A and B are shown apart, each in its own frame.
Chain A
Amino acid sequence: MKLEKGIPLIDQHDENGYWGGKFGGNQIAESLNYPIEELTREFEKLRNDETFIAERDYYFKNFVGAPTPFIKLENLTKHLGGAQIYCKLVSKATGGAHKAYNAVVHSLICKRLGKTYIGGDTGAGYAGKMLSMAAAKFNLKCKIFMGAKDVERQSINVFSMRSYGAEVVPVNSGSQTLVDAVSECMRWWTSENEEAHMCVGSTVGPTIFVKICAWSTAQISREMKKQVMDEFGEVPKDMKLINCVGGGSSAAGFWNEWIDYDNIELIGVEAGGPEGSSKHAAPLTNGSPIGVLHGATQYVIQDDQGEIEETDSISAGLDYPGVSPLHCFLKETGRARYTSASDEEAIEAFQLVSKNEGFVSPSLEPSHAFAEAIKIAPKLSKDTIIVVDSCGDSAKDSKIIAERLGYKI
């Protein structure tokens, strides 16, 4: 399995949609074959259409707020000693996370397809919130599928979605989390695909959804590349890019422009779950078997019967048993390194970063990435640059974190 240089990562799949000949694909019911072919044709056309690109950039800039800041975390760097720590503050994007990019692109595609109805899945609620926000802007009827457990623990985002006029459907099957929300959303689209468009909230699902999402989040690294050049005058010789990985959409976007730079280390941090528990959401780190989930082949947490096992993470956005085929491919080719952080490490990282930096208050998802940065920074020299993608804001997690730390709010 080999990574090609000079070809976008999203295009390095074979004719059947498999990266490295085995990850991804379209393992779908026949009823979804036509809409997926239609979407694939439309996307390939649009990504080469200058008017569409201009439209995308206009909304990214004026509505999502691109570029998001690229800042040095001076206090944290000083506190830890060692490597210099920077942060791509994607949480400053409208809505508080990177999910807005994918939501805007899917809404624009939906309109180009002549459809007026869009549906999507959500875990932490960010994907659903941004999709309902974009749907309201673009006058699309919107339906969001969300695990009943997530509806409960991410009530702030649920309130937002409903305010934007979206119908939020709590999914009561299985573990009542993201995995079930995605299954239910795909079932809905199977019935409604003639009139409705589906947005998959991460770089998972059939190949075309992986591609559209990573193409959208690539905005993060596109703007960051310029910011890095402005800051350092060149690409630093020793740079490490750390990102949390659940489905893998923000990491795919954060790394996209840097994949061909061999001197830049890419580190993905999965959710290790509670300390001492065997449950986790880290299929790459823990060597889960290969399986088929939501239409694509990937590493997936499952039992010997092929049943998807329940994951456990304090972070709803990382609580997914599978992982993007792109990350399976990056792992297998050795281009990226994957590790995990526990719930406890993430909480500690949240505290340390918030206390030291004030303006940066990561949600529980990027707190996993910060945990890894905190772990490795003291051992590295000051010539090493660590950049963490702070891809979500902690506001939505206030209740969970406060409870964990013994506060009542």
Chain B
Amino acid sequence: MTSSTLIKSFERAKENNRAALLTYTVGGDPDKKTSLNIFKSIAESGADIIECGLGHGANIGDGGAIQDSTYRALSGGIKTDDIFEIIEDFKKDYETDVILMTYQNKIMAYGEEDFLEKCVNSKVSGIICVDWPWPLNLDFAKKCKENSIVFIQLLCPTTNEERLKSILNDAHEVVYYISMLSTTGQKLKVSSDEIKKRFNLIKKISPDRKCIIGFGITADTINDFKDTDACVVGSALCREITRSIDDELNPATNVGNMVSDLKQKLSS
């Protein structure tokens, strides 16, 4: 059910001759209500898929901008259930797919079964778990599939070809390519061409799977990825939320404007 809508989001973008635009913001940042408004604004500004962070304080993959967002959400008392409520409320009015991005301890603490039940009820389409690598994640990925949720396997520049093939063999319909060795939000340290070379290798091994490209993509480089499947912008948006709060401006409006700009650059 949900997984098929996720694929359609990619296909719709492809029909428009562009990659799908994914956004990443931390759920509950800076609070429940504003976070929901940010999601609505992102959807209205043309993002194809929303990645919602279920932040973890002791994360090992987030860069500074996302850590700031996570800290704001957690210190504001945001709990896992709040994130599900935000997504559920959002999905009442919007069709845009939502992917949850989190860390293993958040799922463990909630209980795998309960977590998946909540995902189904709040219409989450996919899950990315940063610190749950293949093949350790296979049991959980299977449970996701049984609930029509896409478990999104991660790949990176140092995933060798043998491992790449094995992961793709077990992967669901969508995978995520971490474009460079870094935490989120660092300056792109490899060329767009190099990233696309790896992307093409992934597509050659597995033509049917949609591949999201993430890490280091900004308004300056997004157009380079127009002819791929999908790309994510996250840290720039989180930074925009921080800036809006500091300047006492409306983060939902400002993030929305940024998404419109990204969408235009991806479409031009």
Contacts and interface: CB of A to CB of B under 8 A. Distances in A.
Interface stretch (B36-44, B45-53, B104-112, B200-208): B104-112
Interface string A142-185: 00000000000000000000000000000001100001100100
B130 A29 contact: yes
A190 B60 contact: yes
Interface in A262-304: 289-295, 300, 302, 304
Contacts of A289: 109
17 contacts: A26-B133, A27-B136, A28-B60, A29-B61, A29-B130, A29-B131, A29-B154, A29-B178, A30-B154, A174-B57, A183-B60, A190-B60, A295-B60, A300-B105, A304-B109, A306-B80, A307-B58
A179 B60 CA distance: 11
Nearest to A303: B109
Contacts of B80: 305-306
B106 A305 contact: yes
Nearest to B109: A306
Contacts of A183: 58-60
Interface residues of B, number: 39
Interface of B: 56-63, 67, 71, 74, 79-80, 103-110, 130-134, 136, 154-156, 158-160, 163, 178, 181-183, 186
Max chain B CB contacts within 10 Å: which of A26, A192, A307? A307
Contacts, number: 111
Interface of A: 16, 25-31, 33-35, 173-174, 179-180, 183, 186-187, 190-194, 289-295, 300, 302, 304-308
A62 to B, nearest CB: 37
A192 B154 CA distance: 19
A187 B66 CA distance: 13
Contacts of A180: 58
Contact of A292 (B79, B104, B181, B186): B104
A174 B59 CA distance: 11
Contacts of A192: 181
Contacts of B178: 29-31
Given A173-B67, A190-B60, A193-B181, A291 B133 contact: no
A394 B83 CA distance: 47
Contacts of A29: 60-61, 130-131, 133, 154, 156, 178
A190 B71 CA distance: 21
Given A29-B61, A30-B159, A293-B58, 4 more contacts: A173-B71, A174-B57, A192-B181, A302-B109
Contacts of A28: 60, 131, 133
Contact of B61 (A34, A190, A291, A293): A190
Nearest to B110: A306
A290 B182 CA distance: 28
A305 B79 CA distance: 7
A307 B183 contact: no
A34 B160 contact: yes
B37 to A, nearest CB: 23
A191 B181 contact: yes
A294 B60 contact: yes
Nearest to B186: A191
A187 B183 contact: yes
A204 B186 CA distance: 27
A248 B59 CA distance: 22
A308 B57 contact: yes
